[in-house]
A = this chain, B = another copy of it.
Amino acid sequence: MSATAHLARFIATSSWTDVPDSVRHDAKRSLLNWLGCAIGGSNAPSVDLAIESLATFSGPAQATVINRGRRFDVATTAVVNGVASSVLDFDDTHLQTVIHPSVPVASATLALAEHLAVPGDVLLHAFTLGVEAACKVGNAVSPEHYAGGWHVTSTCGVIGAAAACARLLKLDEMQAACAIGMAASQSAGLSEMLGSPTRMFNMGHAARSGFMAAWYASKGITSSTRALEAPRGFGNAFTTRSDWSALTDTLGVTWEIAANAFKPYPCGIVVHPVIDGCLLLRERHAIAPGDIERVEVTVNPAVQVIMSNPEPADGMRSKVSAEHCIAVAMAQGAAGVQQFTDAVVHDPEVSGLRRRARLLCSDTMAKDAAAVCVVMKDGIRHEAFIEHAKGSAEVPLTDRELEDKFRSLVAHGRHGGDAGRIIDMVQGLETVTDAGALARA
A residues at B contact (CB < 8 Å) = 46, 49-50, 52-53, 56-60, 62, 73-76, 148-151, 178, 181-182, 184-193, 195-198, 201-202, 205, 209, 212, 215-216, 219-224, 226-227, 230-234, 236-237
State A192–B186 Cα separation when bound (angstroms). Answer: 12
Shortest CB distance A265–B (Å): 26
Shortest CB distance A75–B (Å): 5
Residue of A57, A60, A148 with most partner-chain B CB within 10 A: A57
Shortest CB distance A121–B (Å): 26
Q: Considering only CB atoms, which chain B residue lies closest to A223 in the complex?
A: B198
Instruction: Contact check, A53 vs B219: say whether CB atoms are below 8 A apart.
Output: yes
Instruction: Contact check, A185 vs B202: say whether CB atoms are below 8 A apart.
Output: yes
Instruction: Contact check, A53 vs B232: say whether CB atoms are below 8 A apart.
Output: no
Instruction: Contact check, B185 vs A192: say whether CB atoms are below 8 A apart.
Output: yes
With a cutoff of 8 Å between Cβ atoms, the chain B residues found around residue A53 in the complex are: 212, 215-216, 219, 221
Instruction: Contact check, B197 vs A49: say whether CB atoms are below 8 A apart.
Output: no
Shortest CB distance A324–B (Å): 24
Instruction: Contact check, B57 vs A233: say whether CB atoms are below 8 A apart.
Output: no
Question: Can you name 23 A-B residue pairings with CB atoms under 8 Å?
Answer: A53-B215, A53-B221, A56-B59, A56-B60, A57-B59, A57-B75, A59-B59, A59-B73, A149-B233, A150-B237, A178-B198, A185-B192, A185-B198, A186-B205, A188-B209, A192-B226, A193-B223, A193-B227, A197-B223, A198-B221, A198-B224, A201-B216, A205-B209
Q: How many copies does the complex hold?
A: 2
Shortest CB distance A54–B (Å): 9
Instruction: Contact check, B221 vs A197: say whether CB atoms are below 8 A apart.
Output: yes
Instruction: Contact check, A232 vs B191: say whether CB atoms are below 8 A apart.
Output: yes
Known: A185-B202, A198-B223, A216-B53. A233 touches B73 (CB 8 A): no
State A60–B150 Cα separation when bound (angstroms). Answer: 35
Shortest CB distance A142–B (Å): 15
State A395–B326 Cα separation when bound (angstroms). Answer: 72
State A189–B56 Cα separation when bound (angstroms). Answer: 27
Instruction: Contact check, B52 vs A219: say whether CB atoms are below 8 A apart.
Output: yes
Known: A182-B198, A222-B197. A190 touches B234 (CB 8 A): yes
State A43–B235 Cα separation when bound (angstroms). Answer: 35
Q: Considering only CB atoms, which chain B residue lies closest to A115 in the complex?
A: B56
With a cutoff of 8 Å between Cβ atoms, the chain B residues found around residue A186 in the complex are: 188-189, 202, 205
Instruction: Contact check, B198 vs A222: say whether CB atoms are below 8 A apart.
Output: yes
Partner of A76, one of B57, B62, B201: B57
Q: Considering only CB atoms, which chain B residue lies closest to A190 in the complex?
A: B185
With a cutoff of 8 Å between Cβ atoms, the chain B residues found around residue A227 in the complex are: 190, 192-193
With a cutoff of 8 Å between Cβ atoms, the chain B residues found around residue A221 in the complex are: 46, 49-50, 53, 197-198, 201
Instruction: Contact check, B222 vs A190: say whether CB atoms are below 8 A apart.
Output: no
State A130–B152 Cα separation when bound (angstroms). Answer: 29
Partner of A196, one of B190, B197, B223: B223
Given contacts A57-B73, A190-B233, A192-B230, 9 further A-B contacts (CB under 8 A): A56-B59, A149-B236, A178-B198, A181-B198, A184-B190, A185-B188, A186-B189, A188-B209, A190-B234
With a cutoff of 8 Å between Cβ atoms, the chain B residues found around residue A193 in the complex are: 181, 185, 223-224, 227
Q: Considering only CB atoms, which chain B residue lies closest to A83 in the complex?
A: B221
Instruction: Contact check, A49 vs B219: say whether CB atoms are below 8 A apart.
Output: yes
With a cutoff of 8 Å between Cβ atoms, the chain B residues found around residue A215 in the complex are: 53
With a cutoff of 8 Å between Cβ atoms, the chain B residues found around residue A76 in the complex are: 57
Ranked nearest first, the 10 interchain pairs of A and B with the lowest CB-CB distance are: A149-B237, A198-B223, A149-B232, A192-B232, A188-B188, A57-B73, A57-B59, A192-B233, A185-B190, A53-B219
Instruction: Contact check, A182 vs B201: say whether CB atoms are below 8 A apart.
Output: yes
State A237–B189 Cα separation when bound (angstroms). Answer: 10
With a cutoff of 8 Å between Cβ atoms, the chain B residues found around residue A59 in the complex are: 56-59, 73
